[in-house]
Amino acid sequence: MKAEFEEKDFEAPLYNELRFGSHRIATPGQVFEGKFGIDAALEAEHPLFWDLFGYYDIPKGVVLDHLRWGFMWRKLGRKRRLPTFNTNLLIQAKRPTPLSRASSLLKGYGFSSKHWRFEITDHQQEILEKVSHNLRRKALVIYAAPAFHTLDDLYNHTEAQMVVENSNFVKVERLHNHKQWNYYQAGTSGVAHSEPEFIEDVSLNSMIEQMGEFGQENENASENLRYLHKMTVEACQEIQDHNPIAKYYLRLHGRLMRLDEVYEIEETIHYSAFNLFCNVAKLKWLVV
């Protein structure tokens, strides 16, 4: 039996906390979402989150409102501004299965009894891993899962703003050739299967700060969008013959590219193409 709550129930307070004190969160509503296809854009400044992944500076990402958006934005009358902060964090939220007994193998890695596990989907893992590799330090691609499973815990952690402190994060590339991720506590440590491998990463905050050091050297928003688009397409092209997610994205991408004459500026098509990938791969594109 999986956690008592759905992934969406976990995502909302998680993303809300990740923005910490900056209050830089965009929840665009149905009209905006219908034109741009995004649910939310965040600036994650929670110190524990970034510390978990070993980053020392917050990444720059892309400043959306520095770009002109052509016909799509005019349809809305440009009555509201786009987020004026950067985007560089891609999260795939997972709903874990709580387990009460640890195998002898897991006990050897410090597991006692209560722990959690989520399954890794082959096609999704492959495409996320490929994109993460291509983007290098431009974006951090991670799985996030709660280290709790009851509705009572979800409500209590949400009210206390302790969802991040009670969640487990792991980079997608760490789960290469694995089918499951097992963990018994919050943070960035756990055991990956099939061939058991104990993984303990630097803190999430540290990871994002490290990515930020690279971002400071690449502050051109237009170039960042072009790079995200280019690397995503190249990653999908390499695996499209056997990966249905990559094949489907490239099919939709081809249709989008046929509309390039409608877009007034290059940044618009780059943004739309990368955001399309996030929707197909079921990633949340966040701002940090």
Question: Averaging pLDDT over each range in 37-41, 150-154, 190-194, which range is the top one?
Answer: 150-154
**Domain membership flag for residue 208:** yes
Number of compact structural domains in the chain:
1
**Domain membership flag for residue 95:** yes
Task: Give the separation between CA 149 and CA 131, rounded to whole angstroms.
Answer: 30
Give the confidence band of 285 by pLDDT, cuts at 50, 70, 90: confident
233-282 tens-digit pLDDT: 999 999 999 999 999 999 999 988 887 665 566 777 888 888 889 888 98
Give exposure, 191-215, as e/b (b: 16+ Cβ within 10 Å): bbbeeeeebebebbbbbbbbbbebb
pTM of structure? 0.71
Q: Which residue has the higher pLDDT, 163 or 73?
A: 163
**Domain membership flag for residue 200:** yes
**Domain membership flag for residue 124:** yes
**Domain membership flag for residue 236:** no
Model pLDDT, residue 53: 67
Q: Which residue has the higher pLDDT, 252 or 135?
A: 252
Q: Which residue has the higher pLDDT, 179 or 139?
A: 179
**Domain membership flag for residue 255:** no
**Domain membership flag for residue 237:** no
**Domain membership flag for residue 128:** yes
Torsion sign (Cα): 198, 203, 208, 211: negative
Which residues constitute the domain of residue 124?
7-219+282-287
Give the confidence band of 23 by pLDDT, cuts at 50, 70, 90: very low
